[in-house]
Amino acid sequence: MDMERSEGGVEVRPLEEENGVEPMDTVDDASRSAKVLDLLRRFLDVQRRRAEAYTKLRRGFSEYMSNGGEEAYQQLCGEITQEFNDCSKQVIELESLFLMPDLCRADLANLLKAVQAQEKQKLHLSIKIQVLKKSGRPSERLVMHDSCRFDNVKGHQCVHVQEITEAAGTEDAEADAEYDNALKEAICGVQEAVTCINEYMEEVRYEIEELQSE
């Protein structure tokens, strides 16, 4: 590196500093911040894709419950599954990039990993809710008569007819209570996951604001 000559006790300084050129470490810090900012913005894009996928899934399930269409619903579930898998792969890639030696941001990698865990829980419980709603409360489920017998003399001989007893009524009530509890737990679990995700996302946005202000 070229240096100023020292004469008469004058301080020797790098010429790039004298000429107003930023020191190399300052340039590296700026480059590192720009990379971190870019990765965090990419993560926000992934989260937007996830939100859009959830909206599409809820809309499709609502249409299925109203109008039927098992094949269309199953196709939608397959598309949503693929979308969430792609999002997860991208987040895992971002985590690894934050851990690279040129960034060394294990804190952000762990933050993304925490979001990923909550997103996994949210998706699992969201699917569970749809499965429960699809099946319905035990006492309200439609009876299928495929296994019943029918002849011209006696007509429909339903195999589902049984004597109504107090024990049977208690069993139905217990089944309904178990169903209601399972649905309630799943809904509460989704709400808790959403709360955690929102808190983590606030940390991400705060980090972005800090980097933008530098």
Taking only the tens place, the pLDDT of each residue in 99-138 is 999 999 999 999 999 999 999 999 999 999 999 999 998 8
Buried b (16+ CB within 10 A) or exposed e, 103-120: bebeebbebbeebbebbe
- Region of residue 159 (left: phi > 0; alpha: psi -120 to 50; beta: else): alpha
The pTM assigned to this predicted structure is 0.74
CB 207 within 8 A of CB 38: no
Beta strands in the chain (DSSP E): 149-151, 155-157
Dihedral, CA atoms, 124, 50, 206, 108, nearest 10 degrees? Answer: 60
Residue 92 CA to residue 120 CA, distance in Å, equals 13
Please give the single-letter amino acid code of residue 12.
V
Q: What is the CA radius of gyration of the chain?
A: 30
DSSP 3-state of 152 = coil
Digitized pLDDT (tens) for each residue of the chain, 214 residues in all: 444 444 455 555 554 444 555 555 665 888 999 999 999 999 999 999 999 999 999 999 999 999 989 999 999 999 999 999 999 999 999 999 999 999 999 999 999 999 999 999 999 999 999 999 999 988 876 555 455 555 555 555 554 445 445 555 677 788 899 999 999 999 999 999 999 999 999 999 999 999 998 7
Using alpha carbons, select from 8, 126, 130 the residue that is nearest to residue 73.
130
